Chain A
């Protein structure tokens, strides 16, 4: 492979290009009119404009991207995450155009893209699954019967769903009919597919996922877990590896299950198998994400393996250069997603320009970002500014490094999730590792951050006042002295 086009923007485009560059391969950036000055465009060897800012007219324009790739003699396309990364049609079109798609095959992507098809596919491998039905359901009375069998509370989920959309918790039978209708209509409007299914609602769940890596020769390994239970709006915001609750035995078991899930659909490249883990440490297969995950840096930091490099090698047709036993697990890594969101206002996007932007630096600190000081946060895309990841010899060191890094990370002009990070990393439940996906709902209120800000504001106020008063004092004596000196001269 001599030239790779990265069909993405922001931090992930830049992160992928860094590896491409290091491997001695030329990189091609694509960009929308809103991103002309973005670091990923400036970093690339070549860049092409896809069109206006909205993603539908730029980063999602599959045909245009492939046409440019052909024109520029590109021999590989990396889709990053989001946008076209899990679009099986795009993956197939890329391969049909004679270009390597740096990711899984279109068939595996298609199977795992549907939660129901995924369940069907892994069924024969004895992977534990949340009790429920594995078929789309429309009949409310049948749904009532199944719900009674598995026991309330239950969860209604859209087969094509993601990001919490088309998901409804039902506590009792009386609510089932209405909630089911709402889930179907939400799934239809969000994903164009109204099929829903029913699962037992696991109370106090943790979200733990396993990173897998598979070459085209049937070699599949896992790179341990990532704990992703700290979420807001059903979206991850803090991730770490290893998880504080997995024993080596459980890690092996879940790892083996994940490898089996990958093998069940002849998976290649990097992928992530998501599990729910309940309070008794039972684990259940949730779904497989057929892409490079946002939170992959924590895995890279503890294993020392560059996942993008592996993806490129696999796409080139190389065999994995290591086996399961060779993969090291060193220390502990934590990641905080830094979003342009206001934790004081329900995590709503905070619009603005990065008036000041200074990154923390130091050993064991990694910042994956795609912005510079003075840049506006475009409103057209995901409001993530950066991923801040730290590595330490153990969990305590990694957390401490993270807290220091947050204090050294200066972002002015937009509200960010940095103060929320401080809240998490100071919280007893996080420190002891006793938390689940309800962490935010259970413990977080904006007042906690507000109180701390008020405390700091007061400190800033009293310091500024005393500093000013002392400056005044210094000015006055000098004036007195000079007048007496002048007076003396006059004599």
Chain B
């Protein structure tokens, strides 16, 4: 029954995957030590470790080549709950942009009332001897800019308010 069709959605480190039954069968793994496994995929040999997993076993953190991959497995029920809006929300709504670190505002790239899109540059904050672009993580409209160029800001200070 399980894996017969493309029913599982797997989210790994922000990427979303789904696998066919054949693909799942083709993966070979062997336990080589406590929580350490040797994987063979298309004859390539890779070591993977299970760092942690929750009670359901559907949230697993896997380590490959020194990097951790948080994995969430979603079965049909999980996906249905997601659709009905009970799961983790995917629609993003942000009310303000805060300074991620103390620094000096060098330049402001937006104006009051401006419509901005996800990924747009909002301002440049100088910290750690470097210029950092602060971008917006969702589509929004600028309500009010609370800082000006040349101003020093503290971590967590609200830089820009959004509608």
Contacts and interface: CB of A to CB of B under 8 A. Distances in A.
Contact of B27 (A382, A410, A462): A462
Nearest to A348: B132
B64 interface: yes
Contacts of A406: 66
A456 B73 contact: no
Contacts of A419: 67
Interface residues of B, number: 44
A407 B68 CA distance: 11
B73 A464 contact: yes
A151 interface: no
A351 B100 contact: yes
Contact of A456 (B10, B27, B65, B128): B65
B127 A463 contact: no
Contacts of B11: 461
A468 B128 contact: no
A465 interface: yes
Given A461-B17, A462-B17, A418 B66 contact: yes
Interface in B11-26: 11-15, 17, 19, 23-24
Interface residues of A, number: 37
B39 interface: yes
A364 B71 CA distance: 35
A229 to B, nearest CB: 22
Interface stretch (B55-63, B77-85, B108-116, B139-147): B55-63
Contacts of A145: none
Given A348-B132, A461-B71, A409 B64 contact: no
Contacts of A472: 2, 57
B66 A460 contact: no
Contacts of B101: 351, 379
B39 A459 contact: yes
Contact of B12 (A348, A351, A460): A460
B120 to A, nearest CB: 15
A382 B66 contact: no
Contact of A349 (B29, B71, B132): B132
Secondary structure at the B interface, as helix, strand, loop or mixed, is strand
Chain A contact residues: helix, strand, loop or mixed: helix
A469 B13 contact: no
B67 A463 contact: no
A323 interface: no
Contacts of B129: 382
A463 B103 CA distance: 43
B57 A468 contact: yes
A306 interface: no
Contacts of B2: 469, 472-473
B46 interface: yes
Contact of B64 (A380, A381, A412, A456): A456
A470 B43 CA distance: 21
Given A348-B132, A379-B128, A471-B57, A461 B66 contact: no
B33 interface: no
A385 to B, nearest CB: 13
A379 B66 contact: no
Interface string A342-372: 0000001101000010000000000000000
Contact of B69 (A381, A457, A471, A473): A457
Contacts of A471: 57
25 contacts: A349-B130, A379-B128, A407-B66, A408-B66, A411-B66, A454-B15, A457-B12, A457-B14, A459-B46, A459-B48, A459-B64, A460-B71, A461-B10, A461-B17, A461-B19, A463-B27, A463-B39, A463-B62, A464-B60, A465-B71, A466-B29, A468-B58, A468-B60, A469-B3, A471-B57
Sorted nearest first, the 5 A-B pairs with minimum C-beta distance are A460-B69, A461-B12, A460-B62, A464-B71, A461-B10
Interface of A: 348-349, 351, 356, 379-383, 406-412, 418-419, 453-454, 456-469, 471-473
